[in-house]
Amino acid sequence: MDLGRHRRIRRRLIGAALLAAHLATPAAEAWRFDIEPRGFDEHCLHLGVGEAIRWRFTATGTVDFNIHAHRGNEVIYPVRRHRVSRASGSFRSRAAEDYCLMWTNKDVAAVSLRGSVERLR
Domains along the chain with CATH numbers: 28-120 (2.60.120.680)
Sign, Cα dihedral of 91, 98, 62, 28: positive
21 confidence band (pLDDT: 50, 70, 90): very low
SS3 string, 48-86, reads CCCCEEEEEEEEEEEEEEEEEEEECCEEEEEEEEEEEEE
What pTM did the predictor assign? 0.77
Residue type, 31: W
At 19 the pLDDT is 40
In tens, the pLDDT along 22-53 reads 444 456 889 999 999 999 999 999 999 999 99
Report the candidate in 20, 10, 41, 13 with the shortest Cα–Cα distance to residue 110: 41
In tens, the pLDDT along 61-107 reads 999 999 999 999 999 999 999 999 999 999 999 999 999 999 999 99
At 26 the pLDDT is 58
